[in-house]
Amino acid sequence: MQKYSVFSLVKNAFKGHKDWEVAWKDPTPKAEYDVIIIGGGGHGLATAYYLAKEHNITKVAIIEKGWIGGGNVGRNTTIIRSNYMHDENGLFSEFGMDLWRNMSLDLNFNVMFSPRGIINLAHSDAQMNAYSRRGNSMRLNGIDAVLLDREEVKKIIPMADFSENVRFPIFGGLMQPSAGTARHDAVAWGYARQADSMGVDIIQNCEVTGFNITNGKILGIRTSKGEIKAKKIGLCVAGSTNILAEKLNMTLPIETHLLQACVSEPIKPILDNVVTFGAGHFYCSQSDKGEMVMGGDLDGYNSYAQRGNLPTLQHVLTEGIAMFPFLSKLKMLRTWGGIMDMSMDGSPIIDKTHIEGLYLNCGWCYGGFKATPASGWTFAHTIAQDKPHTLNEGYSLKRFNTGHLIDEKGLGTKTWIS
Amino acid sequence: MLHIKCPHCGLRSQNEFSYGGDASVKRPELNKEISDQDWDNYVYLRKSPRGKHLELWQHISGCRQWIKVERDTLTHEIFKTLKANEEV
Per-residue model confidence as pLDDT tens digits over A356-382: 999 999 999 999 999 999 999 999 999
- pLDDT of B8-26, one tens digit each? 999 999 999 999 999 999 9
One-character DSSP codes across B44-66: T-B---SSEEEEEEE-TTTT--E
- pLDDT of A299-357, one tens digit each? 999 999 999 999 999 999 999 999 999 999 999 999 999 999 999 999 999 999 999 99
- Which residues 205-244 in chain A show a CB within 8 A of chain B? 242-243
- CA nearest A284: which of A118, A100, A396? A118
A31: exposed, middle or buried (Cβ count in 10 Å: 0-12, 13-18, 19+): exposed
Mutation target to probe the A interface, by most A beta carbons within 10 A, among B48, B54, B70, B71 is B48
Domain borders along chain B are 1-25+49-88
Rounded to the nearest 5 degrees, what angle is found at the Cα of A161, between the Cα atoms of A160 and A163? 145
**A251 to chain B nearest CA, in Å?**
6
Q: Which residues of chain B have pLDDT under 50?
A: none
Rounded to whole angstroms, how far apart are CA atoms A300 and A315? 12
Rounded to whole angstroms, how far apart are CA atoms A220 and A222? 7
Instruction: Tell me which chain B residues have a C-beta less than 8 angstroms from the C-beta of A255.
Output: 21-22, 46, 48
* The pLDDT value given to residue A414: 66
C-alpha dihedral sign at B63, B65, B70, B75: positive
Instruction: Tell me which chain B residues have a C-beta less than 8 angstroms from the C-beta of A398.
Output: none
Alpha helices in A241-398 (DSSP H): 241-247, 310-323, 372-385
Mutation target to probe the B interface, by most B beta carbons within 10 A, among A242, A304, A354 is A304
* The pLDDT value given to residue A415: 52
Rounded to whole angstroms, how far apart are CA atoms B8 and A58? 61
* The pLDDT value given to residue A407: 86
Note whether ipTM > 0.90 here.
yes
**Entry field: residues in chain A:** 418
Rounded to whole angstroms, how far apart are CA atoms A222 and A356? 17
Contact A303 B76 (CB under 8 A): yes
Mutation target to probe the B interface, by most B beta carbons within 10 A, among A339, A341, A343, A401 is A401
Tell me which residue in A243, A302, A310 faces B53 most closely, judged by beta carbons: A302
Instruction: Tell me which chain B residues have a C-beta less than 8 angstroms from the C-beta of A400.
Output: 40, 43-45
Q: Mean pLDDT score of chain A, rounded to an integer?
A: 95
Alpha helices in A275-398 (DSSP H): 310-323, 372-385
A331: exposed, middle or buried (Cβ count in 10 Å: 0-12, 13-18, 19+): exposed
One-character DSSP codes across chain B: --EEEETTTEEEEGGG-EEEEETT--PPPTT----HHHHHHHHT-B---SSEEEEEEE-TTTT--EEEEEEETTT--EEEEEETT---
Which architecture, in CATH terms, is B1-25+49-88?
2-Layer Sandwich (3.30)
Nearest C-alpha in B relative to A300: B19
Rounded to whole angstroms, how far apart are CA atoms A222 and A236? 17
Asked if pLDDT for residue A232 goes beyond 90, the answer is yes
Beta bridge partners of A180: A80
Asked if pLDDT for residue A418 goes beyond 60, the answer is no
What confidence category does residue A1 fall into, taking pLDDT thresholds of 50, 70 and 90?
Answer: confident
Contact A302 B74 (CB under 8 A): no
A251 interfacial to chain B (CB closer than 8 Å):
yes
Contact A413 B2 (CB under 8 A): no
